[in-house]
Structure 1
Amino acid sequence: MSNDPLLQPYQLKHLTLRNRIIVTSHEPAYPEDGMPKERYRAYTVERARGGVALTMTAGSAAVSKDSPPVFNNLLAYKDEIVPWVREMTDAVHEAGSAIMIQLTHLGRRTRWDKGDWLPVVAPSHLREPAHRAYPKKIEDWDIERIIKDFADAAERMQAGGMDGVELEAYGHLIDQFASPITNELDSPYGGSLENRMKFCLDVFAAIRKRVGEKFILGVRYTADEQLKGGTGKAEGLEISRRLRDSGLIDYLNVVRGHIDTDPGLTDLIPIQGMANSPHLDFAGEIRAATNFPTFHAAKIPDVATARHAIAAGKVDMVGMTRAHMTDPHIVRKIMEKREEDIRPCVGANYCLDRIYQGGAAYCIHNAATGRELTMPHAIPKAEAKRKLVIVGAGPAGLEAARVAGERGHEVVVLEAANEAGGQIRLTAQSPRRREMMSIIAWRLAQCEKLGVTIRYNIWADAETILSENPDVVIVATGGLPHTDVLAEGNDLVVSSWDIISGDVKPGTNVLVFDDAGDHAALQAAEILANSGAKVEIMTPDRSFSPEVMAMNLVPYMRSLQNKDVTFTVTYRVESVEREGNGLAAHVGSDYGGVSKTRLVDQVVVNNGTIPLDDLYFELKPLSVNGGEVAYDDLIEGLPQTVARNPDGRFQLFRIGDAVSARNTHAAIYDALRLVKNI
């Protein structure tokens, strides 16, 4: 038996959990028609195969028709979900893990124009800022109906083979009853703490009566809303004791904070640049005060912190949820004493931010997550060894090198700079985004183990490539800033990269023209503002920084608003000319009828990149395939067999920003799905 605290079993009522690591409830937005079909099942089962003790699905599954999901959630109010759940639970159990599901009624945390267009209900008429719906004040018959819906849904989950259900009680309807901010009801469900907790306990009582004693029930709840007028720490401790003393539940899953706004959500589920495990000590206080099984997850991305959480008795089960989106095989690697091989979560929050914009959750640097049906987490060996030359050691090039190395190929990477990283190294100049360098560091370490050769300070040309006698050449040279976007005055502007890299000194009165909406504009603006400059960010879009997305935007706004940065939407910089010692930026609008001038001393343009593709076009006539990618074969996971030039000496491909300006995930996905079949 291992003496590692993380690998010790834990007895939760009748259920023996094989170690102390869990994946807490979360919704990756993979359901089809509200059901956990093949894609959802494959994602969930992969984490079980990786060794996790307990995986919790759905964040959260809806129990009622007037709780329509605002993104793609499971619909636990439908009987047809049972066989789909059964297929998933059987597969997870076969892999050795326990499985639970989180159930909820969203209350006001949804919209009336979703699903069946039923009124949103809550214990007050107060809208939630994040979803903007004004709710109907809940009535007695609503309460009776919803309590029954919870019990019905739990019974379905039990019939589907779940080991238990967890109720979501932070930000959703149960918490809206418990919080004095959102509960304006009279007795018996409003007023005193006892009354405000009554709905939660009535729901648990109805579920327990329906499912019996041999079924795990838990609650994920906020024990401190950290919100003026809300549930504070003292009341949260009392709520914790009352939940324990109810005799209805088997564990507490503690969070701290509120999720009704983007800043609140980001503090509760911190992202990169924010402190790791910020609420772990608080969860430990709950466990000490209740002496009751306690679970917790909130930015615990590394094994060392998780091990401390268990060894120090802070919690009984530690959640590493986003970490398991990055690497589903964490536990197996711990057991095999290969912790250095664990792909690190960098806190980029691409996963969560995507679902809050209506997309599916993807990990920024594991392109197999959510694509388990088509993309491998473990790369198989190739039938025959080939030689690959990869040009560029950014995220795309290094992923291609890693995957090729795993395939058993001979791999040579040529990099023009004196170190690897590409645009990742640039973006990591921001202290808040330094964790991004782990994307590069992990791949460099993996490439070293796999025998990949990386040569720096080499500006590769066709002669260089031919001297390597490759079978396959992959151009991953990235791109350069695209600033030639104005009718006049392009020679007078600088790029966001110039500011971030420090190659250009900040001005004192600066206009940042952002037509890309990504991190670079905000990073440049932050550097400018921190230097003391007056800064205006202008975009022709109707909202600023759409590619940054909600939770990543929060730290930027806290920094930039503090420096009085101005944000101007729906205006476009059309031209720039010199005026005295400064610059005149002429501003128009896509909506027409506008002509303005900004007098500044610096204009920064952020408009993505132009592919650095000269080498690709130099090599194209020398290649077998003429650079062509058979898209159907790429999508189907088949090898590339295009042969356009019988005299060609190698296959040629380009990936990442060498094709077009996209993002880190796209670059890594390009590399994985191409090279896994070479």
Structure 2
Amino acid sequence: MSEQPYPTLFSPCELGGVPLRNRLAHASIVTRFVKDGEATEALLNYYRSRARGGTGLIVTEPIAMTAWNRVPTRLRAWDDGALDSLQRCADVVENEGTRLLGQVQDSGRGRHAVGRNDGAVGASALPDDLSWTVPRVLSVDDIRRMIDDWADGCRRLKAAGFSGVEISAGHGHLFHQFLSPWSNRREDAYGGDLEGRTRFLRELVEAIRAACGRPFIIGLKLPGDDGVPGSIDLAGAHAISARLAQEADRFDYWTWAWGAHANSLYRHLPDAHGERHPYLDAIRELRQAAPAMASGAIGYLTDPNECETALSDGTADLVFLGCPLITDPAFGRKAESGREASIRYCVSCNTCWRTIIEGTRLECDNNPRVGSADEDDWQPVQVRRPRHVVVVGGGIAGLEAAHTAARRGHRVTLVGASEEPGGKTRLHAELPGGENLSSIYDYQYLAGRRAGVDYRLGEAATADSVLALAPDAVLLATGATAAPPAWVPAEYLEIGAVPDARAMARDMLGRSGREPGRVVLFDQDHTEMTYALAELLTARFEAVSIVTPRERIASDVSLINRQGIYQRLYARGVQLVTSCTPRDLDALEEAALDVVNVYSGAVTRLPDVVAVTYATSRVPDNVLAAPLAAAGIEVIPIGDCRAPRTVLAATREGYEVALAL
């Protein structure tokens, strides 16, 4: 028998008298799989798959327990009305040998969706740093009633079979607001000095312990450096941890979160634009306030090797993964059995965060089956009548369709013009911050290999060459091309004087050094790839200007990613010219570009311009559709060839179309 590759990660431990089979924990993630306060089948599928997939502990999304927080999209625990639903959640997890914790949380004044939080309560009548919501101030009686409600709710969770709870006191939520001198200006017993500002949290822990006794896990997620001036920095986090350590006998583990409901929100979910697992050194220091207390590692950990290191070097006793366990519910089982190559890895794109804030349900760029039955060990139903399916295009929509169709029993041939798989996503992966995107097409390509896909890369498909393959169906995944703006003359396009963003990216990746002058990037795209190119351009030109007809940039990007984009672009000195569009290219003869305000018509001249490029709306490359259809072949456009959209849409559509064949 081979030696366990991650001996610490998959070693058992105990928290609060409750045994855990391993140290892999699922951090709390909102799913939007709750309806009218009760668990849907999708939520039960989600928890079951991750428990069955080898996770040792799962923390639920926040649960509604108080009179102030009866939200229909949260599991109901404010009375016994949904006890059966809570029991079903506990059963699907605990019966697999995994421990289930409910999260205790209230957003307080915090809000990161559009608009303000009309029902907000908080420590003081001070505005939220993002939404500018001013909360109703909680009275002392309100606080005590909330504590009683939470203690009763936790007692119900224990009765339902939960192994414990985690109190979310970071991320800018209510308890964080009480802990911070920036948001807590109270003059009563729950404000003022550190003793007062920690009182709410300490009394809550005491009440939950009294209601639930032992064995019952109580965990704390505390603020690290929240990035808000005058709030909680690392020194402040140390002080809070030291005070709570005085009552360490009342709780069982702690971990720390970065960022807040402010311009630092993006620190909550670090990505490939920064260093990997950036908070572990600080977590190692913070835990010294009570070294015997079990601590959790968290923050941009996506690989089992990183998890093992964080556990074996003294940083932590548990590792909390969120997004990686959305992407692959069997992460634990695969890592424990030495099958790391078959893990579908998280690309840290934060699409999951965007779908739960702006969308209707949790989704993932690299897992089109989130919330489906048997997600952890999905085996597609075999087709009764296999067909020869030809996929034209080697991007992520085509690759997803190819391996899914082949796994169902179809004979699949994939023809791609590029010699390597990945399409435009492969190009994005070469740009700053895009490296993790390779995990999407790497997984798809290898899955296709295992399923028997016949890859014919480096072949430009024509109607005749496709027909020569004698397909029963053709999935057209040939992508899309940026439409040239009206202000670019045809002769400029013919000689490549004004390239589109992808052509510019390929050119810049082949260069080194920094040239004098300004490059202007016209932005009518507003997606991450455009700003990754802008970052690359700052390394190739003295000055970079982004011109967009909208009032801001990155409007097709989640708030958490948009903050990071602004931070990086401003740090690199990029000029943002909003509500403007180039008038024409006449001034290029004078090394300038005239841009006109789309509202006032005012003209501004940008000086020292040596290059212009554009990222615009894309047009499907579907020229093969008509001749193939005329030949009597079933043709199904997918991905950008159907309609230019996102990575999420491409993988999901490739999967769904292949299932329907």
Give the residue type in structure 1 aligned to 2:561. Answer: N
Cα deviation, 1:495-540, whole Å, max 9, x if unaligned, reads 2222212179988334432222112332333233333343332323
1:513 to 522, 546, 556: 522
Task: Map 1:421-436 to 2 at 5 A.
Answer: 421-436=422-437
CA distance in 2, matches of 1:349, 1:127: 26
Counterpart of 2:105 in structure 1 is 104
Q: Shift of the alpha carbon at 1:588?
A: 4.7
Measured after TM superposition, the shift of residue 371 of structure 1 is: 4.9
Higher relative contact order (CA 8 A, sep 6+): 2
Alignment of structure 1 residues 232-311 onto 2, 5 Å = 232-246=233-247, 249-262=250-263, 264-290=264-290, 291-311=292-312
> Structure 2: any 5+ residue segments left out of the alignment?
none
Q: For the residues of structure 1 that align with 2:261 and 2:118, how far apart are their CA atoms? A: 21
> Equivalent of 2:570, from 547, 551, 561?
561
Would the aligned equivalents of 1:507 and 1:528 in 2 still touch at CA under 8 Å? no
Q: Give the deviation of 1:587 after TM superposition.
A: 2.4
In 2, the alpha carbon distance for the partners of 1:360 and 1:155 equals 29
**Aligned counterparts of 2:622 and 2:258: Cα–Cα separation in 1:** 48
1:46 match: 49
Query: Do 1:479 and 1:611's aligned partners in 2 also have CA atoms closer than 8 Å?
Result: yes
Alignment of 1:219-618 (within 5 A): 219-225=220-226, 227-246=228-247, 249-262=250-263, 264-290=264-290, 291-357=292-358, 359-372=360-373, 377-486=378-487, 491=493, 493-502=498-507, 508-573=517-582, 575-577=584-586, 580-582=589-591, 584-585=593-594, 587-589=596-598, 591=599, 593-596=600-603, 598=605, 601=609, 602-618=611-627
Query: Relative to structure 2, which stretch is displaced further, 232-241 or 123-132?
Result: 232-241
**AA matched with 2:543:** K
Decide whether the 8 Å contact of 1:500 with 1:523 is kept in 2. Answer: no
Instruction: Pick one of 12, 29, 43 that aligns with 2:15.
Output: 12
Q: 1:461 to 1:541 in 2, by over 3 A?
A: same
| Contact 2:297 2:310 (C-alpha < 8 Å) held by counterparts | no
Alpha carbons 1:479, 1:657 under 8 Å: kept: yes
- Structure 1 residue 672, shift from structure 2 partner: 0.5
1:365-400 Cα distance to aligned partner (Å, 9 max, x none): 111124559998443443444322211111111111
Q: Cα gap change, 1:585/1:62 in structure 2, threshold over 3 Å: closer, same or farther?
A: farther
- Please name the residue that 1:35 is paired with: 38
SS at match of 2:39: coil
For residues 443-475 of structure 1, the C-alpha deviation after alignment (integer angstroms, 9 at most, x for no partner) is 222222333221222111122122222233211
Structure 1 unaligned residues grouped into runs of 5+: 624-649
What amino acid is the match of 2:618? T
Post-superposition shift, 1:658?
0.9
Alignment match, 1:662: 645
Q: Which digits, 9 at most, give the CA deviation of each residue in 1:269-328, with x for residues without a partner?
A: 211232222222333344454211222321110011112222334222211221111100
Cα separation, 1, equivalents of 2:95 and 2:116: 35
Contact 1:309–1:315 (CA under 8 A) maintained in structure 2: yes
CA 1:112 to 1:206, structure 2 compared with 1: closer, same or farther past 3 Å?
farther
TM-score by length of 2: 0.89
Partner of 1:653: 636
Structure 1 segments (4+ residues) deviating >6 Å: 111-116, 373-376, 487-490, 503-507
Q: CA 1:456 to 1:283, structure 2 compared with 1: closer, same or farther past 3 Å?
A: same
In structure 2, the partner of 1:207 is: 208
* Cα deviation digits, residues 620-640 of structure 1 (max 9, x gap): 1223xxxxxxxxxxxxxxxxx
Of residues 248-257 and 662-671 in structure 1, the stretch that sits farther from structure 2 once superposed is 248-257
Aligned length: 646
Q: How many Å apart are 1:541 and its aligned residue?
A: 2.6
The answer to whether the 8 A contact 1:223-1:240 is kept is no
Give, in whole Å, the separation in 1 of the partners of 2:587 and 2:145: 69
CA contact (8 A) 1:255 1:268 kept: no
For residues 138 and 52 of structure 1, what CA distance do their matches in structure 2 show? 38
Bigger drift between 48-57 and 365-374 goes to 365-374
Worse-matched range after superposition: 531-540 or 272-281: 531-540
Q: Distance in 1 between matches of 2:372 and 2:262?
A: 30
Report % sequence identity.
27
Residue 158 of structure 2 corresponds to 158
> Hey, what's the Cα distance between the residues in 1 that align with 2:623 and 2:49?
41
CA contact (8 A) 1:53 1:97 kept: yes
Change over 3 Å in CA distance of 1:373–1:109 after alignment to 2: farther
CA contact (8 A) 2:482 2:618 kept: yes
- Taking a change above 3 Å as real, the CA distance of residues 299 and 665 of structure 1, as seen in their structure-2 partners, is same
Question: 1:642: which partner in 2?
Answer: none
Contact persistence 2:520–2:545 (CA under 8 A): yes
Q: Which residue of 1 aligns with 2:63?
A: 61
Which residue pairs with 1:620 in the alignment?
629
Determine if contact 2:414/2:454 at 8 Å carries over to the other structure: yes
1:26 maps to a residue whose letter is I
For the 8 Å contact 1:574–1:588, the answer to whether it is kept is no
Verify the 8 A CA contact 2:29 2:60 in the aligned structure 1: yes
Distance 2:657 2:308 in 1: 37
Per-residue deviation, 1:570: 3.1
Q: Decide whether aligned partners of structure 1 residues 582 and 345 sit closer, same or farther in structure 2, where only a CA change above 3 A counts.
A: same
Q: 1:260 to 1:372 in 2, by over 3 A?
A: same
Q: Residue 276 and residue 586 in structure 1: after superposition, are their counterparts in 2 closer, same or farther (change >3 A)?
A: closer
Amino acid at match of 1:134: V
Distance in 2 (CA, whole Å) between partners of 1:456 and 1:113 is: 44
Is the Cα–Cα contact under 8 Å of residues 76 and 103 in structure 1 kept in the other structure?
Answer: no
Structure 2 distance, partners of 1:587, 1:237, is 52
Contact 2:523 2:530 in 1 (8 A): yes
Kindly indicate whether residue 150 of structure 2 is the aligned counterpart of residue 138 of structure 1: no
Q: In the alignment, what sits opposite 1:167?
A: 167
TM-score by length of 1: 0.87
Partner of 2:34: helix, strand, or coil? Answer: coil
Mean CA deviation greater in 550-559 or 225-234? 225-234
Q: What is the RMSD computed on CA atoms of the aligned residues? A: 3.1
Tell me the secondary structure at the aligned position of residue 294 of structure 1.
strand
- CA separation of 1:387/1:579 partners in 2, compared to 1, >3 Å: closer, same or farther? closer
Rounded to whole Å, the distance in 2 between the matches of 1:228 and 1:617 is 60
